[in-house]
Amino acid sequence: MPEAKWRVLIGSRSFGQAFPEHLQELEEAGCEVIPNGVGGRAYRAAELMEALPGVDGIITGTDELTAAVINAADRLKTIAKHGVGLETIDLEAARQRGIVVSSTPGTNHDSVADLTLALLLALARGVVKSHNDVMRGGWKAFYGVELMAKTLGIVGLGRIGKAVAIRGQAFGMQIIAFDPYPDSTWASEHDVSFVSLDELLTQADVVSLHAAAEMAAGPLIGAAQLAAMKPTALLINTARGALVDEAALATALRDRQIAGAGLDAFVAEPPVGSPLLELDNVVFTAHLGGRTVDAQRKQGEMCLENLLRGLRGEPPLHQVT
């Protein structure tokens, strides 16, 4: 094995888990791999202030790469995001330092879309309630609803939103969408209608969030938006926890302003102490959207290539800064 040329910190909790050979490839390429030193969770800013000096590259998940952290990283050449969300990285600070930031778009959209439909079906048919009832020795027949002819409103018609639209149509759903940068050609080819966010909220039987956190200054879905939805509507969030005012959502669910919610993303993860955990009309998953072996393989391969290119001074496959 060649002598290490670069030191690389692994911040991402999932990089190398399903495919440890990705870590081996880093070493074979001349990297000294520094494992996650905080129990597998994301690094906080104060922890990175101590961990990053002397490090040439970081593979990051949701680590707090603030301006102060980036400016204190004396040797940092590249930040390789293992995923697509960039809200925990101060991009301007990285740009000013000449640090290359990359991400891995297009590697997990099918996995996230699959989970979106899984949450929707679990809510529509009371799968979790029925499972828990049977496990307790019960045999209650819960009534659900069909998806056929229902309206699916997609907020954010990017790669994931489009994949969800195709899956929804396979169940016979009508698709409407809101996006500040509408892909009108794709929408026309796939029988998707663009509407305003207000129109989507009032018309949709299911509202599915696939927007970037940067789409709004604050939560995109708050008390007013929840009040505009149908009382029979379901809300699905497999995007970012910051898109939803969780306190307002808990109130809306408790008061049956909407029928239910399927949540894979939260403001604080895990959502310890959240009032949402007390409700029976919510289905939760632990930010599993991209956690399939298929997505992890593709995401890991792209992240690895991005990092090595950044270390070598070459353009990554998908450069952000």
* HSE-up of residue 190 (Cα within 13 Å, Cβ side): 23
Residue 133, amino acid:
D
Residue 177, amino acid:
A
Annotated catalytic, 22?
no
Q: CA angle 92-95-99, nearest 5°?
A: 130
Round to the nearest angstrom and report the end-to-end CA distance of the chain. 32
Annotated catalytic, 25?
no
Catalytic residue among 269, 297, 301, 312: 269
Report the SS3 class of residue 72.
Answer: helix
Catalytic residue among 159, 240, 291, 309: 240
Annotated catalytic, 109?
no
Contact 66, 45 (CB under 8 A): yes
| Gyration radius from the chain CA atoms | 21
Measure the CA–CA gap between 84 and 2, rounded to whole angstroms: 31
Catalytic residue among 13, 109, 210, 287: 287
Which residues are marked as active site? 240, 269, 287
